[in-house]
Chain A
Amino acid sequence: MNEIAIAVDNLVKVYKEKSATPVRALDGLTLQVRKGEIFGLLGRNGAGKTTLLRILTTLIPPTRGSVRVSGFDVQKEGLSVRKSICVVLQENAAELYLSVKDNFATYARFHSVPREEFKVRLHSVVEQFGLRDYLNQKVIDLSGGLKRRLQVAKVFLVDRPIVFLDEATTGMDPINKRATLNAIREQARMGRTVLLTTHILEEAEELCDTIAIIDHGKCIATGDLPTIKSRVSPVYDLAITFESLDASTIQQIQSLPVLKFSHGENTVEMSVKGDPLSTLNLVTELAKTHKIIHFEANSASLEDVFLELLETKGVQS
C-alpha cells in the first residue's frame, strides 16, 4: 500500500503559453497516489482536475514539472504509461454505430484481453452494470445514462493497474451509481489504484482513502478524510431534543455562538464552531437548566470542509 503509483511533482500546465493571454491551469501541483488506494480529486469547475487527468493519461504534455505513472515518465515513456492505465474520460466516449457487445469487443482487443478471457469477463461486467439486455443494441439507440454505463463498464473488462475516472457516475441513476461505486471498491480491493474526480462529495467521502482538494491549479489540502477535516476549524452539527422547549430556552441558545440554528416543537438543530471540548461544555451548560432527552452530534461533512477550504485558501490564492 505504500508503493507509489502516481507521483506528481511541481506540475505546471500553461495553455496558450506564447499567446498574450496564457492560461495557467496547473500551478506547481504536487501529490502522490499510493498503489491500491482510491484517490479522490476534488475542486470547483476550472480548478485543474481535468487538465491533471489529461496529463496523467498522456493526452497532453505538461509545461513543467515531473509526472510519473506506474514509475514511467508521462512525457518520455507515454506508451508504457498507457499500457498501465485505463481511462473513463469526462466526455461521453463510445462507438455509436457499433453494438454494445462490439464496443466491449473492440475495447478488449485494444487492451489485449485474450478471447476466452473476454467471454468470461464480459459476462461478469454486463451483469454488474445491468447491460445484458442491451448487448446487441447499437449504442446510438441507448439513453445517455446507458451510454455512460457502457463507457464505465469497459474499464472493468481489463485489468490495468491504474484506473482514471473523470466524473464517472455523471448521468447515472442511483442504482447504477451504486453498482459503479461497488465495482470501484472491488477493484481497489483487488489491488488496482483508482484516481477519480467527482463533484459529488458524498461519493468521495464514501469511497476515497485519500482526498486532494485542488484550486487554481494548486493542491490546497490532501490526506485521508479525518486529516482533511482537521485542516479547517472544527464544526459540529448538534441536534438536541428537550423535554420541553419554551421561548426563554430558544432565546438562551440563540445567544450562544452558533453558526446555524433552527428549531421544531422540542428539538433544536444548530452548527457550532469549536473543538470537541467546548462543544461538549456548551451542551453540558444547557443540560444544567433544561432536561435533555436526546442528543446527536456529527462532525462537519466533506462538503462543509470543501467549502470552507475553498473560501479561505481559494481567496488567498
Chain B
Amino acid sequence: MNMILAVMYREYRIRTTSMTWLFYDLLMPLTYLLLFGLGLDRAFAGGVQTQGGPVSYNAFFLAGVLSMASFGIAINTAYGFFVDRDNGIFYEFLTYPMTRPQFLIGKIVFNCLMSLMQAAITISVGVLLLEIPFRWERAFFVFAGVVIGTAGWFFFLTTFALRIRRNDMFNMFINVAYFLLMFASSLFYPLDSLPAWLKSAAQLNPLTWHTDVLRYATVGIGSVDIIAAEAIAFAVFLVIAFWFAVRALKYSVLK
C-alpha cells in the first residue's frame, strides 16, 4: 500500500506543477459538453431518438463526454511513460522497491481520482445549467464506471506506450486510435441510426460498451440485459489490458 501511495504522491506532485494540465483534466470535458454538446443540442432540437423515446442531445451526450474524458486521462497518463523515459527516471523507477503492478496501480488510482473529480464537476454543471435529467440514485454506478473506464483505457494504452518506443509513432497511434474508436462507437450518436457495417464494428468497440453503461447509469437509456453484457465485456477488457500492461512493463527495458 505504501508504494501505491508513493506513486500517487509522485503523480500528485507532478500534476500540480502545471495549471494547464489541471485545467485539461478537470474542466475540459465540461467545456466539451457546454460548447459541442450545446451546439448539437440546438441542432437536434427534437432530441435523439432512442428505443425508450426521444431524449435531449445534452442528456444523451453526457455519457459520451464522461467516456471521452476517461479516455483522455488515460492517454495523458500513458503518455507520461514517454516523459519519464525522456527524463531517464522511468528506468530508475523500475529499480525502486515496488512491484510492476503496484507502479501501474499507483499511477492509475491517482488518475482515477482526477476522473472522479472531473465527472463530478461535469455532471453537476450539466444538471444545473443544461437541465440534464441525471439519475442520482445511480450515481455510484456512474462513478464506478468512470473509474473502471479510466483504468481499462490506461492499461490498454500503457501496453502501446511501452512497446512503441518512439514518441511520434505513439502520437500517430493515439490519433488514429482516438479517431476510429470515437467515431465507431455510441459516443456521439445512437448505434441504431448507423449503417449495418459501422454498427457491427461499433458493437465490438470497448468504448461503446463503456459509453452505453455510463449512459444507462446517467440518464437510463438502454436495456438491462445488453448493459450487463457490455459491463462484463468491459471488465474482461480491463483484466486483459492489465495483464498485457504488466507484461509490457516487465519487459520494457529489453532491447
User: Which residues from chain A sit less than 8 Å from chain B, CB to CB?
Assistant: 15-16, 54, 57-60, 79, 82-83, 85-87, 89, 91-98, 102, 105-106, 109-112, 138
Contact = CB atoms under 8 A, between A and B. Distances in A.
A89 B88 contact: yes
Nearest to B10: A106
Contact of A93 (B10, B13, B91, B253): B91
A59 B91 CA distance: 8
A54 to B, nearest CB: 7
B6 interface: yes
Interface of B: 2-3, 5-6, 9-10, 13-14, 17-18, 87-89, 91-92, 94-99, 253-255
Given A95-B87, A109-B6, A110-B98, A89 B14 contact: no
A112 B17 contact: no
Given A93-B88, A94-B89, A60 B6 contact: no
A95 B93 CA distance: 11
A59 B249 CA distance: 10
B253 A59 contact: yes
Given A92-B88, A93-B88, A59 B94 contact: yes
A54 B99 CA distance: 16
Contacts of A16: 255
Contacts, number: 74
Given A60-B253, A98-B13, A98-B14, A112 B2 contact: yes
A111 B10 CA distance: 13
Contact of B91 (A91, A102, A112, A138): A91
A86 B96 CA distance: 7
A276 B184 CA distance: 84
Given A59-B253, A106-B13, A93 B96 contact: no
Nearest to A154: B92
B92 A93 contact: yes
A57 B14 contact: no
Contact of A54 (B14, B96, B253): B253
B192 to A, nearest CB: 47
A8 B86 CA distance: 31
A60 B10 contact: no
Across the A-B interface, give the 5 residue pairs with the lowest CB-CB distance, nearest first: A93-B88, A93-B92, A91-B88, A83-B97, A87-B95
Contacts of A89: 88, 91-92, 95
A87 B92 contact: yes
Scoring A59, A105, A111 by chain B CB atoms within 10 A of each residue's CB, the highest score goes to A59
Scoring A83, A85, A94, A95 by chain B CB atoms within 10 A of each residue's CB, the highest score goes to A95
Contacts of B5: 109
B91 A82 contact: no
Contacts of B94: 58-59
A109 B10 contact: yes
Given A82-B98, A87-B95, A93-B91, 15 more contacts: A58-B94, A85-B95, A87-B92, A89-B88, A89-B91, A93-B87, A93-B92, A94-B88, A95-B87, A96-B87, A106-B10, A109-B9, A109-B10, A110-B97, A112-B2
